[in-house]
């Protein structure tokens, strides 16, 4: 139980032999939150800090999640890897055949499912990106909720065995125009990543996928021996929202882009009345 659970309750016990009503039942001995309202205590040991609840902008009740770090791993030359070109603005095109792709043009790894979509639990974890022979850190682009963030290309947290270890933190990413971002901006993008691009470097005047692997941290309630996910929140979500940061719509709800930056989860009936004319066949919606 948490501090927000403290208060008076009524207790009702029943079975085939009878019924007992106890009222009131007071819950008082609950560990408090030393942070101000709308914040939670993150971190471990002596390096703890109060962070503002993100909760997708729909709640101010959160606490540190009891999650543990684990990660996704994929070889850069895996058959599931995708490739794309990007003009630095809005135009992004998928490339099917990279064997004959001109080395004079920029080409990116376009990370597949598992590294995109719902990744808010990766906040505070690390992204491990393999480096080419020149040891330069490639351009890294995150796109989501009409936002595009770029890795600031400063010194990574660590380089080991031709692999750059980059913390998924707001200090490591900026907007395309170079302006700083805050924690909320990064979490909005991580909540639903549309595109995750990593620049490729040509080898011997042609593009060849690296044989090394990319590794991305995430979090789970399953203990995997990788330590606590010390900066991941768990929110008290209102009806229609689910997951640790309320970033997903519950079943029977669909996202409407009104209100908060990520929109609101509205009941299907509201969507049907507003968007689906009675003269057409209802369309299939997916939960985001």
Among the ranges 4-13, 182-191, 221-230, which has the highest mean pLDDT value? 182-191
pTM for the full model?
0.81
> 285 pLDDT band (50/70/90 cuts)?
very low
pLDDT of residue 45: 79
Beta pairing class for 126-130 and 213-220 = antiparallel
Instruction: Please name which of 267, 271, 286, 260 lies closest in space to residue 145, comparing C-alpha atoms.
Output: 260
Distance separating alpha carbons of residues 231 and 125, to the nearest angstrom: 9
Poorest-confidence range of 153-157, 231-235, 248-252? 153-157
Among the ranges 204-208, 212-216, 267-271, which has the highest mean pLDDT value? 212-216
- Residue that wins the pLDDT comparison between 11 and 195: 195
Share of the chain above pLDDT 90, in %: 52
Residue 249 and residue 239 in contact, taking contact as beta carbons nearer than 8 Å: no
- Dihedrals phi, psi of 260, to nearest 5 degrees: -60, 165
> 220 pLDDT band (50/70/90 cuts)?
confident
pLDDT digits (tens, 9 = 90+) for 133-182: 666 889 999 999 999 999 987 666 678 778 899 999 999 999 999 999 99
pLDDT of residue 3: 61
pLDDT of residue 93: 92
Residue 53 and residue 59 in contact, taking contact as beta carbons nearer than 8 Å: yes
| Residue pointed to by tokens 């980059």 | 166
pLDDT of residue 170: 95
- Residue that wins the pLDDT comparison between 155 and 61: 61
Does residue 29 carry a pLDDT above 60?
A: no
> 288 pLDDT band (50/70/90 cuts)?
very low
Poorest-confidence range of 20-29, 121-130, 257-266? 20-29
pLDDT of residue 195: 95
Does residue 254 carry a pLDDT above 50?
A: yes
């Amino acid at each position: 139980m948490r501090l927000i659970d403290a208060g008076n309750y009524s207790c009702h016990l029943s079975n085939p032999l009878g019924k007992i009503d106890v009222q009131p039942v007071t819950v008082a001995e609950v560990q408090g939150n030393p942070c101000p309202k709308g914040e939670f205590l993150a971190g471990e040991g002596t390096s703890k800090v109060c962070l503002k609840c993100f909760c997708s902008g729909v709640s101010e009740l959160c606490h540190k999640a009891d999650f543990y770090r684990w990660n996704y791993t994929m070889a850069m030359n895996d058959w599931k890897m995708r490739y794309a070109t990007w003009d630095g603005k809005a135009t992004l095109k998928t490339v099917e055949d990279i064997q004959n792709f001109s080395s004079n043009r920029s080409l990116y790894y376009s990370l597949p499912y598992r590294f995109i979509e719902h990744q808010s639990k990766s906040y505070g974890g690390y992204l491990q990106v393999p480096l080419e022979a020149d040891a330069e850190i490639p351009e890294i682009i995150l796109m989501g909720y009409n936002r595009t963030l770029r890795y600031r290309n400063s010194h990574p947290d660590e380089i080991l065995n031709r692999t750059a270890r980059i913390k998924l933190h707001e200090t490591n990413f900026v907007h395309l125009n170079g302006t700083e971002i805050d924690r909320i901006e990064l979490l909005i993008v991580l909540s639903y990543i549309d595109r995750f691009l990593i620049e490729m470097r040509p080898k011997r005047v042609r593009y060849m996928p690296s044989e090394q692997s990319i590794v991305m941290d995430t979090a789970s309630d399953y203990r995997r021996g990788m330590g606590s996910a010390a900066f991941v929140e768990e929110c008290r979500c209102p009806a229609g929202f689910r997951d640790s940061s309320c970033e997903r719509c519950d079943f029977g709800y669909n996202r409407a882009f009104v209100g908060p930056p990520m929109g609101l989860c509205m009941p299907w009936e509201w969507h049907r009345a507003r968007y689906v004319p009675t003269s057409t066949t209802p369309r299939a919606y997916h939960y985001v």
